Amino acid sequence: MQKIKIIRKFFGTDYTIGRLFIDDKQICDTLEDTVRDKNNDGDLNDPGETKIFGKTAIPRGTYRMIINHSNHFNCDMPLLLNVVGFEGIRIHPGNTAEDTEGCILLGFNTEKGKVINSRIAWNKFMDIILSSHQKEWMITIE
């Protein structure tokens, strides 16, 4: 089974930039909302860790990921399962924190606070995932 990992690197006031790896090979960068899990314990239950809808990154941890149809995007795309306190967490193209509501955006971080060439990065990611012929993956977010 292929291992997918996101290592969060840069923590802005309204965004988080990370690196996405598959089997320890960096594929692209990621952009997420603000990390509010201040003590990195995998939940948002501690003082000062209030979830703000559409402006909060999912807590660090390991999640099951499947590919299924998104009615919002009208195509098949990755969906993270069993993310406590969140629903519909997808991996999809986008460039700024305004393009995500807790989801993970793919691209290349060449400008502060954003990713570019998102569709190229997402297509590369999907080509790797779909060519594996797996039905389910595990993704770890650190």
pLDDT digits (tens, 9 = 90+) for 12-40: 999 999 999 999 999 999 999 999 988 88
pLDDT tens across 49-69, in order?
889 899 999 999 999 999 999
**Long-range Cβ pairs for the range 96-99 (8 Å, 24+):** 96/15, 96/31, 97/14, 97/15, 97/31, 97/32, 97/33, 97/34, 97/55
Q: Is the pLDDT of residue 86 over 80?
A: yes
Structural domain of 27: 3-141
The domain total for the chain is 1
Q: How confident is the model at residue 140 (pLDDT cuts 50, 70, 90)?
A: very high
Q: What is the pLDDT of residues 108-118, one digit of tens each?
A: 999 999 999 99
pLDDT at 123: 96
As a whole number of angstroms, the distance between CA 74 and CA 40 comes to 34
Query: What pLDDT is recorded for position 1?
Result: 67
- pTM of the entire predicted model: 0.94
